[in-house]
Amino acid sequence: MPISRSWLLAAALALPGVPQHRATAQAASRAVAARPRLVVFLTVDQLRPDYLDRWARQLTGGLARLSQRGAFFPNAYQDHAITETAPGHASTMSGRFPRSTGIVRNSAGVEDPQAPLLTSRDPAASPYRFRGSTLIDWMRSSDPRSRALSISRKDRGAILPLGRAKQSVFWYATSAGEFTTSRYYGDTLPSWIRRVNARRVPQSLAGQSWTLLLPAREYPEPDSVPQESGGRDFVFPHTLSTDPARAASELPSTPWMDRLTLDAALEGLQALDLGRGPQTDLLAISLSATDYVGHRYGPDSREQHDNVLRLDRALGAFIDSLFRIRDSSTIVFALTADHGVTSFPELVAQRTGRAPPPRYDVSTAMRTLRDLLQTAGVGMDAVDFDGTLVSVDRSAFARVRIDPDPLLARFAATLRQRPGIARVDRVRDLAQRDTLRDPVTRRWLHMLPPDTNIEYVVTPVQGAYPAGAQIAEHGSPYDDDARVPLIFYGAGIRPGRIVDRALVVDAAPTLARVLGITPFERLDGHVLSRALTDGAR
C-alpha cells in the first residue's frame, strides 16, 4: 500500500531544522508506524447523541474517552427516511444511502432462506440484497491480507456493515443462547467462537438481577413509569428467569448483552490475530442493548440512563484490554449509531403540558385500498401497503387494461385524511421539491433505489406513534430518529467537538482517507477533513 503523501508531509513538517533527505527518511518510517493497523468500528444500536451530554458527568469509561478525546460530531445524521436498523447499518461503512445499498427496511434486510444458520433455528440470513462495496472491500483491494471480524447481538448488525464480504461474521442466536453464523459465511463454527459459547455465560446469568450501577439519587428519571415495558416489570431490579435457556433469551434486553459481545470481539481479535500488521484489519462491533432497553423503557427512562453508564464502563474495559494486547498508536476508532429514537408521545405531553400528537391508524385506509382494487377488478396483490410504503405492480393493472394512477390518487387522499398522518408523497414528485429546506423530502430521496416499485410514501406527524404501539419507536424521517453521534478517535484523528453537520455516510470515506486508500465506487459521503490531523491540507 503506498504511503499517502499527506502523512509524509505531516511528518516532515514536524521536523524543522533536519536536513531534507534525513527528514524524508525519518518521515517515511514514522508514516509507516503511524498508519493504522486496526480499524475498530463501533455501532451502538439506537444511540442518541444527547445521551452523551445528558449523562456526561457520570461517563468515565469508553464513551467518555471517545467523546472527550476524539473528534466528536454531535450533529450527525442518518440522512434517510426509514430510520431502522438494517438501512442504518448498511450505511455505516458503505458511505452510501439506502437508495444505493438497496437495504430499505428491516423487513427486506438480511433474511435469506438459502442461508440457514449453522447451529440454531433463528432466521436464516445473508447480505444478498446488499448492493455495492464497503470499507473492507476497499481495504482488501489495496492489500489482500486485510481481514475483518464483525460481531453483534443482531444478524443485520453483524452482516450489513461489511456488505457482501465473506469475512468472519457472527451474531447471537436467541433460540440457542450462543453466537453463530450462516451458511453464506461458512460450514463450521471456528474453535474460538465455540470456546466462547462453551462458557455458557448467558445461561449462567439465570436468576441474576440488573440493578443500578450508581446510588439511586444519581438518576433524576423516575423509576416507576407504567408506560414502560408494556406496564410490566418497569421498576428496578430487573431479574432474569431462573431457567437458563429463558435467561439466555432475555439477555438482549439487559446491559450484559454488550459485555458478552465485546468479550467475544476481543477473543476473536486474538484468535484471528487481527491488528498486528503490516496490513490494516477491521473489527466491527454492533452493540444492541441500547436498542432493546430503549424500545422497552424509552429514551427518558432510568433504565436507559443506567444502560448507557454500563455501556460506557464496558467500552472502557474493552479499550483498556485492547491497548494491553495491541499498540494503541496503530488503532483508529469510529463510533456511530444506526438510528435514534422518539420519546413516548404521552410522556412528552405530561412534561410539556401540551396535547400529544394523535396516534395514527392506517387500518381503515387498508380496507379502502382493498375495496378500490376489488371494484377495479385488479388482484389484491397489485398494490402492497405496509403502513409506510405503497408498492405497485403496474403489470397487474396492464393485464386488465386499467390505469392505476386515479386509484392510487384516491387511496393517497384517503390516507391524508387520517389523524396523525403528516403527508403522503408521490415518489416521482419528490425530486421537484426543495431538498435543502425540506429534510423529509431529502431523506425520502436518499431512501429509495431508482428501480423501486414504491410509488407513494407515508410520513406521520412528528412525534406521533402508531396506534397500539406499546414500545418506544423509531423509523421516522424526523431528527429524533435520524440524529446520531459520530466519533473518530486514535491514529490520524484530531480531537475536538465539531458542531458542523455531518452524516453517517461520511464515516467510510473519512476512514478511507486515514488509511490512505481509495473507495472504488461513487459515494454519497465526504471526507470530514476537520477530524483529521492532516485535515488542513
> Minimal distance in Å, beta carbon 73 to Zn ion?
19
Q: Measured on CA atoms in the order 199, 307, 41, 441, is the torsion positive or negative?
A: positive
> Minimal distance in Å, beta carbon 160 to Zn ion?
11
State which residue, 79 or 291, has the beta carbon closest to Zn ion. 291
> Minimal distance in Å, beta carbon 411 to Zn ion?
30
The residue ranges that bind Zn ion (CB under 5 A) are: 45, 85, 291, 338
Closest by CA to 459, choosing from 471, 446, 477, 445, is 477
> Minimal distance in Å, beta carbon 301 to Zn ion?
17
State which residue, 83 or 441, has the beta carbon closest to Zn ion. 83
Q: Which amino acid is at 4?
A: S
- Measured CA to CA, the distance from residue 81 to residue 83 in angstroms comes to 6
Q: What are phi and psi of 26, to 5 degrees?
A: -65, -40
State which residue, 460 or 475, has the beta carbon closest to Zn ion. 475
State which residue, 79 or 338, has the beta carbon closest to Zn ion. 338
State which residue, 472 or 487, has the beta carbon closest to Zn ion. 472
The strand pair at 421-426 and 71-77 is best described as unpaired
Closest by CA to 241, choosing from 206, 282, 189, is 206
> Minimal distance in Å, beta carbon 438 to Zn ion?
25
Report residue 93 as a C-alpha cell: 461503512
State which residue, 291 or 312, has the beta carbon closest to Zn ion. 291
Beta bridge partners, 336, equal: 43
- Total residues found in the chain within this entry: 537
Do residues 498 and 90 make contact, with C-beta atoms less than 8 angstroms apart?
A: no
Beta bridge partners, 421, equal: 460
Nearest residue to Zn ion, by Cβ distance, number only: 85
Do residues 45 and 288 make contact, with C-beta atoms less than 8 angstroms apart?
A: yes
> Minimal distance in Å, beta carbon 340 to Zn ion?
10
Do residues 234 and 228 make contact, with C-beta atoms less than 8 angstroms apart?
A: yes
Do residues 333 and 488 make contact, with C-beta atoms less than 8 angstroms apart?
A: yes
State which residue, 155 or 281, has the beta carbon closest to Zn ion. 155
> Minimal distance in Å, beta carbon 93 to Zn ion?
15
Q: According to the 3-state scheme, what is the secondary structure of 237-266? A: CEECCCCHHHHHHHHHHCCHHHHHHHHHHH
State which residue, 122 or 384, has the beta carbon closest to Zn ion. 122
Cell 441500547, residue located:
290
> Minimal distance in Å, beta carbon 296 to Zn ion?
13
